[in-house]
Amino acid sequence: MHAGVTLGLFGAIIIAMITVFWGQMIIQKRKLEKVKREYFRQHGGLLLFDRMKSEKGLAFTIFSEAELIHATNNFDSTRILGKGGHGTVYKGILKNNITVAIKRCALVDERQKKEFGQELLILSQINHKNIVKLLGCCLELEVPILVYDFVLNGTLFEYIHGKNRSSHISFNNLLRISHEAAEGLSFLHSYASPPIIHGDVKTSNILLDDNHMAKVSDFGASVLAPSDEEQFLTILQGTCGYLDPEYLQTCQLTAKSDVYSFGVILLEILTGQLPLKLEGPDTQKILSSTFLSAMKENNLDAVLVKHVKEQESMELLKGLADLAKKCLDMCGDSRPSMKEVANELGRLRKLPMYPWVRVGVETDGESLLGGDSTGVQEVESDYSMGENENQHINPGSSYYAR
């Protein structure tokens, strides 16, 4: 009898323990769900849901954490595509076997949290062939996860400085890629509503697809163009060697900050040099300073990379150098807009096809570098991206991603 009582008591204790265990599990699960809902709300998820309901054609997906864990094999280190100051990017395979790039963002501040949902919505609706497409996001975590189109054929940085340099991509192709990247940035500045400032323009953020077409990526430092003075101030961000000196002084990120950074990209193409060298003489550590000194001394030839000088006309190279110099002006207001930069690159790309055309030389009626003549206009569709054909943003759209 005592054995039976003991056994019964033991069984009751086991049942009680199991009950308490499952009770705790349920409580913890509810707490976790509550935390996820709060993160989702903080990151603007409710706004996203409302807009997705009202705009049924919006091609954007809100993923669960579990879906992205499965897609990346629990964010396995072998799936890492790249790391940066704004997060880590993983190769992911969704349930429908679509390959995507999944970015676990770095910490976001309170200002970013307030604008995150609105900005996600804007970027999700941007459709431009030279901008990496944002497919969806996961907002139920403290730090959001973004899902992008998978683009992996190297970066412009690798083709100039790194592992793909051995492929000897031609200067004409480098010029084309820079033109396409400028078109993408011009679209963000001029056609997105509200305008978007990238904030971290550099060669490693220009991806190349299977056809070596440029795709501007990594909007980790991006901000919406501010609507008032107070919104202008940002925490310093970006990459050394590309940072706008005016931004460093004022902490005000503007579209002209992107223009300055793009000017450094043009220097990399012309010189084959890194934007910032940790070794060597102090006077040669910053590429932009070295270049501007050479231009001031009328000694451009000293900084141009050898194979570029051998392949291309000095007329074209001087045109690119002059454009880079304008982009690198210390005063942001004196720099050209990104749209003007893209237009100038489009005109410079035509020089090899029209050897009689010279920078700054006017023809009948108009300068070929200041406006389209009839002869040049006929081939423009092959070298520049028409707004109607290649640029589109859904009506009423507005947005970005971090």
Residue ranges for the binding site? 103
Q: Mark which of 94, 127, 149 sits at the end of a domain.
A: 149
Task: Tell me the whole-structure pTM to 2 decimals.
Answer: 0.74
State the pLDDT confidence band at 117, using cuts at 50, 70 and 90. low
Same domain as 264, residue 160: yes
Q: Catalytic positions, please?
A: 200
State the pLDDT confidence band at 176, using cuts at 50, 70 and 90. very high
Q: Mark which of 149, 176, 207 sits at the end of a domain.
A: 149
What DSSP element (H or E) covers 306?
helix 306-311
pLDDT above 60 for 39:
no
Q: Is residue 221 part of a domain?
A: yes
Q: Tokens representing 328?
A: 């690198």
pLDDT at position 363, please? Answer: 40
In whole angstroms, give the CA distance from residue 35 to residue 41. Answer: 10
In whole angstroms, give the CA distance from residue 399 to residue 97. Answer: 28
pLDDT at position 396, please? Answer: 34
Q: Mark which of 131, 149, 167 sits at the end of a domain.
A: 149
Percent helix, percent strand, percent coil in the chain, to nearest 5: 50, 15, 35
**pLDDT tens digits, one per residue of 63-92:** 888 999 999 999 999 999 887 666 788 999
What are the C-alpha distances in Å from 322 to residues 256, 267, 306? 17, 11, 19
What DSSP element (H or E) covers 7?
helix 2-42
What letter would DSSP give residue 337? Answer: P
State the pLDDT confidence band at 221, using cuts at 50, 70 and 90. low
Same domain as 179, residue 116: no
State the pLDDT confidence band at 168, using cuts at 50, 70 and 90. low
**Least confident interval from 34-38, 262-266, 274-278, 308-312:** 34-38
Number of other residues whose CB lies within 10 A of the CB of residue 13: 10
Give the CATH number of the domain where residue 385 resides: 1.10.510.10
Q: Give the mean pLDDT of the chain.
A: 76
**pLDDT tens digits, one per residue of 304-322:** 988 888 878 889 999 999 9
**Least confident interval from 106-115, 285-294, 333-342:** 106-115
Same domain as 172, residue 95: no
State the pLDDT confidence band at 218, using cuts at 50, 70 and 90. confident
Q: Is residue 238 part of a domain?
A: yes
Same domain as 175, residue 109: no
State the pLDDT confidence band at 202, using cuts at 50, 70 and 90. very high
Q: Is residue 20 part of a domain?
A: no
Residues 300, 312 contacting (CB under 8 angstroms): no
Same domain as 366, residue 265: yes
Same domain as 203, residue 324: yes
Q: Is residue 94 part of a domain?
A: yes
pLDDT at position 24, please? Answer: 64
**pLDDT tens digits, one per residue of 353-390:** 665 555 444 443 333 333 443 333 333 333 333 333 33
Same domain as 343, residue 232: yes
Same domain as 206, residue 91: no
Q: How many domains does the chain have?
A: 2
pLDDT above 70 for 302:
yes
Same domain as 272, residue 145: no
Residue ranges for the binding site for ATP? 103
Q: What is the domain extent for residue 350? A: 156-389
Same domain as 160, residue 103: no
Residues 92, 68 contacting (CB under 8 angstroms): yes
State the pLDDT confidence band at 120, using cuts at 50, 70 and 90. confident
pLDDT at position 196, please? Answer: 85
Same domain as 209, residue 97: no
State the pLDDT confidence band at 25, using cuts at 50, 70 and 90. low
Q: Is residue 108 part of a domain?
A: yes
Least Cα distance to 134 among 145, 146, 151 occurs for 146
pLDDT above 90 for 345:
yes
Strand ranges, E, within 72-188: 80-84, 87-93, 99-105, 126-128, 134-138, 145-149
pLDDT at position 12, please? Answer: 72
Q: Tokens representing 372?
A: 């389209």
Cis peptide, bond prior to residue 194, ω within 30 of zero: yes
Higher-pLDDT residue of 342 and 171 is 342
pLDDT at position 394, please? Answer: 37
Q: Is residue 262 part of a domain?
A: yes
Mean pLDDT of 284-302: 92
